Amino acid sequence: MDNIEVAKEAARRGAAVLLKYWEQLGKEDAQVKARNDWVSRADKESELAIVDFIRDQRPDDVCLGEEGGYTAARGSNGRTWIIDPLDGTSNYLQHFPVWSISIALRQFDEMIAGLIYEPLRDIFYTAERGGGAFRDVHRMHVSDQAGVESAFLATGFPFRAQEYVGTYCKIFQDVITVAKGVRRAGSAALDLAYTAAGVFDGFFEMHLAPWDVAAGSLLVTEAGGLVSDFSGGNRWLERGNIVGAPPGVHEGLIRMIGKYVSEDQLDHRVKSRLT
């Protein structure tokens, strides 16, 4: 099996768990990992199903999952699978039907494969480096939106980083004065997949974790878009502050964000386990 087929089958196995529990679990069945950050047995069992399959197929690779951290590997080949077994846990527990599975494969410093799966609609978004991005079998391309004005954007609130709410709100206010619309659906992985598919004209969020954005970032770049940190640099995976968009929209968002904050003024969302 090639990398995408491994990721697809692993995602199907995780999805079987999530669909079994869908609308059966609520927030009262979850544990709080940190303020406004939830985990349930659906997350944990989905990750176990995904990791077990990947380790069976790729025993020399490392797996990095949101819930379980690193898993041991037999070899050391520089390949790491970065897994979010349920992106949008709060949505899932509230029975809001916007959630996904995200699986990416990183080789040394380069993302080489990515997959985001919507189990409720049975849609796969996939990409391989140099091979383009696809919604099932159909090739994706970012929108042809030229700038932020009249753009249809996605974002996420920094609910885990309350110290940056004020800064975020200043950026958000500037954006909504010129954009056509801004949506906060609650799954960063899907926001990036939809940006790659041209549904959204761009996405920005701060203080995300690597598993939130690893696969989606490759989808966007393989679909012709740009991905960067808040100052236009390449530290988005480790630091968690990300802008993904077609070139013109990306340039406009970076300019608007730069009025209020630079990447160096933001703390790490998580201590990176990718370096």
274 close to 210: Cβ distance less than 8 angstroms: yes
Residue 270 has pLDDT above 50, yes or no: no
Query: 3-139 and 152-265: same fold?
Result: no
Residue 81 has pLDDT above 70, yes or no: yes
Among the ranges 49-53, 75-79, 263-267, which has the highest mean pLDDT value?
49-53
134 close to 164: Cβ distance less than 8 angstroms: no
Angstrom distance (rounded) from CA 268 to CA 248: 27
235 is written with which tokens? 């530290």
Query: 131-185, pLDDT tens digit by residue?
Result: 999 999 999 999 999 999 999 999 999 877 788 899 999 999 999 999 999 999 9
Query: Hey, what amino acid is at 30?
Result: A
DSSP H helices in the chain: 3-21, 41-57, 89-93, 165-178, 188-196, 210-222, 236-239, 247-258
The pLDDT value given to residue 158: 86
265: which DSSP letter?
A: G
55 close to 71: Cβ distance less than 8 angstroms: yes
CATH 3.30.540.10 matches 3-139: yes
Ranking 30-34, 193-197, 259-263 by mean pLDDT, the lowest is 30-34
Residue 271 has pLDDT above 50, yes or no: no
Q: If you average pLDDT over residues 125-136, what whole number do you get?
A: 98
Q: Which CATH number fits domain 152-265: 3.30.565.10, 3.40.630.30, 3.40.190.80, 3.30.70.20?
A: 3.40.190.80
Q: Residue 27's pLDDT band (boundaries 50, 70, 90)?
A: confident
Residue predicted with more confidence, 43 or 271: 43
pTM score, whole prediction:
0.92
The pLDDT value given to residue 269: 54
Query: 215-247, pLDDT tens digit by residue?
Result: 999 999 999 999 999 999 999 999 999 999 999
CB atoms near residue 100 (< 10 Å): 30
* Closest C-alpha to 149, from 185, 183, 174: 174
Domains of the chain: which residue ranges? 3-139, 152-265
What residues pair up with 62 in beta bridges, in sequence order? Answer: 80
Query: 56-68, pLDDT tens digit by residue?
Result: 999 999 999 877 7
The pLDDT value given to residue 143: 98
Q: Is 158 helix (H, G, I), strand (E, B) or coil?
A: coil
The pLDDT value given to residue 275: 47
Share of the chain above pLDDT 70, in %: 89
Q: Residue 212's pLDDT band (boundaries 50, 70, 90)?
A: very high
